[in-house]
Structure 1
Amino acid sequence: MVLRVGYVREHFSSPLLQFAEEDGGKTFTLVECPSGTGQLIGRLEKDEIDVAIALTDPLISGIAKGSKAYKLVGSYVTTPLNWAVITGKNSPYNSISDLQGTTIGISRYGSGSQTMAYVMALQQGWPTNELKFQVNNDIRGLIDSVNDGSTSAFMWEWFTTKPFVDAGECRFIGSVPTPWPSWLIAAHPERAPASALTPFLEALSGHVRAFDAPEQRAAADVAFIKDKFGYAEEDIKAWLKTVGYPQSCLEIPKQVILDTLSVLEKAGFVQSPEGGFDVGEFVNTEVVTLV
């Protein structure tokens, strides 16, 4: 079978894109989801994709809230994601503390832009049940909303947003790194059987290890990202200093799931069932190993 793999076209996806170029559509096809993880989860639910490479927190919170559309099947990025807090070019907001009680822009409900707003509120000591949101679909809609005043700010990955800041379209007023490794891999439990998933993830692991190698980071990775995404070379090199990938995509540290659930619960975004969460319910053990 040919797997339909949903992804977000960002620099993080570089090893996946390199794999796709080599595979040529023989074992999988890529389905771009520009609105991010909320859209990826929606497409898993609607039978539009079989596999999603997506953000840790929305994937875990979706299962915690009862979604049966996917299970976790692997790891993709082992380092935190640095979420920038972005406001309009002429807005009155100059720091994160200025945002309390305002309307925050998000791409979709259940997206990383929403879960991280809860984490930001937790860090700031704001009542998380008072957070207000407006859905603006993608980064263009989010930037427009902070400039027309319908939202105060939004959260998006730092380097993805930096070209818009450099162009004077919006401003950074802070950042909130994730308290967990930032990207996991999820798949529909029936549409993506182990017989197709395991070879896909084994091959992806090889591309991830190659991308992560010091000699590749020094030159080839920089050239690839510059060609695919048009980022400034100094930004690419700065990002490469911060990002880490797993040796094997077929392993997930059990503590990643537990720690993410703990923070999301404290933030009021998920509620633990009586007796606590069962980590085994979050993963497809036919494919991935909990370590």
Structure 2
Amino acid sequence: MVLRIGYVREHFCSPLLQFEAEDKGSTFTLVECPSGTGQLISRLTNDEIDIAIALTDPLIAGIAKGSEAYKLVGSYVTSPLRWAVITGQKPSAYNQISDLQGSTIGISRNGSGSQTMAYVMALQQRWPTSELKFQVNNDIRGLINSVNDGTTSAFMWEWFTTKPFADAGECRFIGQVPTPWPSWLIAAHPTRGKPAAVRTFLNNLSHHVRAFASTEARAGPSVRFVMDTFGYPETDVKEWLDAVEYPEDCATIPWNVITDTLGVLQQAGVVAPPEGAVKHDLFVNLDVVKLV
């Protein structure tokens, strides 16, 4: 079967794009989801994709809230995600994170990483998470427009993805919040993709991830690939590559990633504490993934 892989076209997906160029549609096709993890989860739910490469926190939060549209099948990026806190281009009352308390925060979709990280930011700032206010603005362009027309105070998005907009003067960075968990996991519908096909995809993806993240590739070929594919300046690409970490085996997940992330999400008020012990098979597809 040809798997439908949902992804966000960002620099993180570079190994996936290299894999696609080699595969040429024989075992999978890519389905771009520019609105982020909220859109990826929606498309899993609506049978528009079979596998999603998405942010750790919304995936785990969705299962904790009762979603049966997917289970976790693997890891993709093991380093934290650097979220920029972004406001409008013109001088305003919003010049640092503490200025945002009580204001309306822009998010891409309900349940997205941009919303989850707003809760984490509030937790760090000791704001009551119950008082957070949000406005859905769909994608990066809608979010930038919203902070510039004043309907929202700020939004959060991955640092290097939005830096070109800040460099062009379309918005301003006023802070950053790194995730307290590894940034990307892989999820699949529990029945649509056969376990053997999903395992084969993950094994082949692991090969391309290791090649992209090798010391030799980071010293040149991976820098050039990201520059050519996404148009980022060399200095930004090298800074990102110096910090990003990928797994040796995409078909593994450390169990503490799930439990530790749940703990932070519970503190932030994103999910309710579980009744009893957290069950492995609730969160992961044990026919595919190896817990470590």
2: CA distance between counterparts of 1:94 and 1:228?
Answer: 33
Q: Which residue of 2 aligns with 1:17?
A: 17
Which residue is 2:27 aligned to?
27
- Cα drift, residue 279 of structure 1: 3.3
Residue 275 of structure 1: CA displacement? 1.3
Identity, % of aligned positions: 74
Aligned-residue offset at 1:277: 2.6
Give, in angstroms, the shift of residue 278 of structure 1: 2.0
Does residue 170 of the first structure (1) align with residue 168 of the second (2)? no
Supply the distance in 2 between the matched residues of 1:200 and 1:176 (Cα, whole angstroms): 32
* Per-residue deviation, 1:51: 0.2
Three-state SS of the structure 2 residue aligned to 1:241 is helix
Report the equivalent of 1:8. 8
SS at match of 1:235: helix
Query: Do 1:257 and 1:279's aligned partners in 2 also have CA atoms closer than 8 Å?
Result: no
Matched, 1:146 2:147: yes
Aligned-partner Cα distance in 2 for 1:94–1:192: 47
Distance 2:189 2:251 in 1: 16
Aligned partners of 1:108 and 1:27: how far apart in 2? 30
SS at match of 1:67: coil
* Alpha-carbon distance in structure 2 between the residues aligned to 1:22 and 1:273: 43
* Structure 1 counterpart of 2:134: 133
Distance 1:112 1:253 in 2: 20
Deviation at 1:210, TM superposition (A): 0.3
1:77 — aligned with what? 77
- TM-score by length of structure 2 reads 0.99
5 Å matches for 1:60-99? Answer: 60-90=60-90, 91-99=92-100
Deviation at 1:195, TM superposition (A): 1.5
Counterparts of 2:57 and 2:196, CA distance in 1: 27
Q: What secondary structure, in the 3-state scheme, does the structure 2 residue paired with 1:87 have?
A: strand
Query: 1:156 aligned to 2:157?
Result: yes
Match for residue 111 of structure 2?
Answer: 110
4+ residue segments displaced more than 3 Å: none
Equivalent residue for 2:266? 265
Correspondence for 1:215 = 216
How much does 1:220 deviate?
A: 0.4
Equivalent residues in 2 for 1:117-128, closer than 5 Å: 117-128=118-129
**Residue in structure 1 matched with residue 249 of structure 2 by the alignment:** 248
Structure 2 Cα separation of the partners of residues 274 and 281 of structure 1: 13
Whole-angstrom distance in 2 between the partners of 1:204 and 1:23? 11
> SS of 2:72's equivalent?
strand
Distance in 1, matches of 2:284 and 2:278, equals 12
Matched, 1:189 2:190: yes
| Normalised TM-score (structure 1) | 0.99
**Do residues 278 (structure 1) and 279 (structure 2) align?**
yes
CA offsets 1:49-82 (integer angstroms, 9 cap, x no match): 0000000000000000000000000000000000
2:148 and 2:277 map into 1 onto residues whose CA distance is 43
Q: CA deviation at 1:281?
A: 1.0
**Matched residues in 2 for 1:188 and 1:275: separation?**
25
- Paired letter, 1:156: W
Aligned to 1:210, what secondary structure does the other structure show? helix
More displaced stretch, 268-277 vs 104-113: 268-277
SS of 2:273's partner is: coil
Q: Tell me, in whole angstroms, the C-alpha distance in 2 between the residues paired with 1:201 and 1:247.
A: 11
CA distance in 2, matches of 1:276, 1:130: 29
The farther-off stretch of 138-147 and 87-96 is 87-96
- The one-letter amino acid paired with 1:224 is F
The one-letter amino acid of 2:88's match is G
CA distance in 2, matches of 1:98, 1:290: 41
Q: Secondary structure at 1:245's aligned position in 2?
A: coil
CA contact (8 A) 1:88 1:146 kept: yes
Q: Deviations over 1:78-98 (max 9, x none)?
A: 000000000001132000000
- Looking at structure 2, the residues matched to 192 and 282 of structure 1 have their Cα atoms a distance apart, in angstroms, of 17
- Pairwise CA distance, 1:285: 0.3
What is aligned with 2:54? 54
CA RMSD of aligned residues (A): 0.6
How far off its partner does 1:198 sit?
0.6
